[in-house]
Structure 1
Amino acid sequence: MTKTKFLIVISLMFISNFTFGQHQEIEDLVSKGIELHDKGEYKKAIETYQKALRIDPDSGLINYEIAFSYLSDKDYKNAEIYSKKVIDLQNDHLLLGYITYGNALDMQGKTEEAIKSYEKAMKDFDHYLLYYNHAITCLNSGDTDKAYDSALKAIINNSAHASSHLILSKIMEKKGSRIKAMLPLYFFLLIEPNSNRSGIEYESLRKYIDHGVSQTLENNINIVVPMNNDADFGAAEMMISLSKASNSLEDNKGKSDLELFSENNERLFKILGELKKDNSGFWWDLYVPFFYDMTNENLTKPFSYYISLSKGEEVTKWIDENNIEFEKFSNWIAK
């Protein structure tokens, strides 16, 4: 081997080792930054990511992680700057860059810019988180129709995403449809029965059931059926109010609140299933068959207790005492 060729080989080995060392250092810094971020130490995480960024300023991953930590630290301006760089780089983490950028804009009150950014990304990406964030921003802007379309796309894309069902419930509440606000809320509580927000949303569900029913005297119950444009759900609207009113009948004396809640749910799911034969579309093809089939399997009671987990001891006691029934429900859900 000539001296020139030998020097070239040595140079290539040095470059290779140097590059490998850089990649390892970046990987270590990013791992440390993620660990700090997960502990809530966002500023320290950003400082760590910045060290990695000095090595590779065009890394989509590093710029995204910095943007996400700024967003989590409520520094929305810097989150906008770094997530925009992720988008401009047009390499890895582009989808997450768009989502973070839209969030940062929205949190600064730049709602229209955020919506346009999401819609631009939606031309290239079919992802539930993109649709979900678009739905939130559109709802906040007052455009419930756009919000509705995106919420449906998010759920179709990933029906296991609890928050997408929750935002759809909020949209339908804005639109004034009680049944359509309730159905995704049932599904949300099935996926997420015992978190901080599930306790709040559980109470929202119970208020929907109680809505329009009041008792002025011992034997005098007033029922006002909410009026909305969902003619297909009119019978279900009437039934749920009548069902709630029947809770005060003599036959129901002595039953617990959760027992009555379960019975009300069963009646609702049954009538929706009976109405299904004359209807089709998103609501009738996703939510209604699920709850109707569950009722036909005699699983509405364990379902009702399960989504009531935020109520605490009474629920956990029932589950412990009815383990076989609850296990049957769990196995059915897992299918």
Structure 2
Amino acid sequence: MKKTLLLLLFCSITLPSFSQETTFDQFIEKGIALHDAGDYENAIKEYEKALELEPNSGTAHYEIAYSYFLKGDYKSAVKYSEKAIDLETDNQLLNYVMLGNALDMLGKRKKAIKVYEEAMKEFDHYLLSYNYALTCLKVDKVDKAYEAILKAIDHNPSHGSSHLLLSEIMDIKGERIKAMLPLYYFLLLEPNSERSVTEYERLKSYMDLGVERTSPTNINVSLDLSADSDFGAAEMMLSLNKAASTIPENEDKSELEQFTETNKSVFGILGDMKGDNKGFWWEFYVPMFADFAEADLVEPFSYYISTSQGEEAATWLAENEEDFNRFQKWFEK
């Protein structure tokens, strides 16, 4: 259930609309066009022409580092991003993220961590927190990764990859419900993408843990409540629902119908448990899913996040437009 994540969110630097050196700008713009087309080798040649005109251009150094990174030449990406940082340009955040990622890809993760920590003294940005967490996790600094990814989510709740990384961290910690909640949120943000298919299956796989049919009439349910003490009741409810789905009365239900019933039970128990509990999990994820249960929105939510799974979800949403509209309006409040 563990998955290595890597997301590099860079963008080409937008040049100002006015230009003192038109030829320099033309080289940069041509390089960006070639880069965007995947022709990194020729993009680099254009950036090198720009550097001949302006050897101390932070923009040119960043762009050439970016192309080298995507070309897989991480040593050159390090060289040019370090130069860009030394030049103290206006794009230091991107330069630090580039340098940290290039060092990470070279396996120099302790150096990458130092780069991110240095950058975080100056910048407070979700990309730094995310990449720092990612690299920390690779060197088994799980607690540091956890703290950093919570900060990334706090800064930008819409960054789907941060939720995926948090799920992976909680999987490592052996906390099933806490591994699932970020996946629900990710699928809400990104219900029908290439990676949604994989993450949906990962979410479903958590629901099967600890439940084993040993004979046509016997089902074993095993729980490790000590691993997820905050959500022990939800953990138990999850396993009991999985066991119930195997009895003859429920065998005729589709997988999506059973998925929806499980979500209703789990979200309902989360609402019952919420009470006066404090902290990130109780204040970020739990209120939303508890609201879904209270407002009878779990069904449209469940089908919406299942749209990567085929026609059944899309058909249900089309045939239950009123329920789906209620679900959409929840986000407009």
* TM-score, shorter chain, exceeding 0.5: yes
In structure 2, the residue matched to 1:3 is none
In structure 2, the residue matched to 1:42 is 40
Q: Please give the root-mean-square deviation of Cα atoms over the aligned residues, in Å.
A: 1.5
Aligned ranges 1:26-175 → 2 under 5 Å: 26-175=24-173
Report deviation, 1:160: 0.5
- Distance in 2 between the 1:92 and 1:272 partners? 46
- Distance in 1 between the 2:108 and 2:288 partners? 39
Size of the aligned set, in residue pairs, is 316
Q: Which has the higher contact order (CA 8 A, sep 6+)?
A: 2
Contact 1:232 1:279 in 2 (8 A): no
Contact 1:99 1:118 in 2 (8 A): yes
In structure 2, the residue matched to 1:189 is 187
Aligned ranges 1:189-228 → 2 under 5 Å: 189-228=187-226
In structure 1, the residue matched to 2:238 is 240
- Distance in 2 between the 1:323 and 1:78 partners? 53
Change in CA separation of 1:273 and 1:21 when aligned onto 2, cut-off 3 Å: closer
Q: Deviations over 1:29-55 (max 9, x none)?
A: 222222221221111211112222222
3-state SS of paired residue (1:294): helix
Change in CA separation of 1:294 and 1:25 when aligned onto 2, cut-off 3 Å: farther
Contact 2:193 2:308 in 1 (8 A): yes
Q: Deviations over 1:113-159 (max 9, x none)?
A: 00011011011110000000001100111110010010000000000
Change in CA separation of 1:248 and 1:132 when aligned onto 2, cut-off 3 Å: same
Contact 2:19 2:25 in 1 (8 A): no
Aligned ranges 1:282-297 → 2 under 5 Å: 282-297=280-295
3-state SS of paired residue (1:230): helix
Contact 1:179 1:236 in 2 (8 A): yes
- Distance in 2 between the 1:189 and 1:21 partners? 43
- Distance in 1 between the 2:187 and 2:128 partners? 22
Q: Given residue 182 of structure 1, which amino acid in structure 2 is its aligned partner?
A: M
Contact 1:76 1:107 in 2 (8 A): yes
In structure 2, the residue matched to 1:263 is 261
3-state SS of paired residue (2:38): coil
Q: Deviations over 1:90-122 (max 9, x none)?
A: 121100000000000010010100001101101
Between the two proteins, what is the percent identity of the paired residues? Answer: 55
- Who wins on radius of gyration, i.e. which is larger? 1
3-state SS of paired residue (1:248): coil
* TM-score (normalised: structure 1): 0.91
Picking from 326, 329, 335, the partner of 2:327 is 329
- Distance in 1 between the 2:19 and 2:315 partners? 57
Change in CA separation of 1:259 and 1:68 when aligned onto 2, cut-off 3 Å: same
3-state SS of paired residue (1:214): strand
- Hey, which of these two has a bigger chunk of helix by percent? 1
Change in CA separation of 1:331 and 1:34 when aligned onto 2, cut-off 3 Å: farther
- Distance in 2 between the 1:29 and 1:332 partners? 48
- Distance in 1 between the 2:110 and 2:19 partners? 44
Change in CA separation of 1:31 and 1:329 when aligned onto 2, cut-off 3 Å: farther
* TM-score (normalised: structure 2): 0.91
Report deviation, 1:66: 1.0
- 5+ residue gaps, structure 2: 1-17
Report deviation, 1:22: 4.8
- 5+ residue gaps, structure 1: 1-19
3-state SS of paired residue (1:48): helix
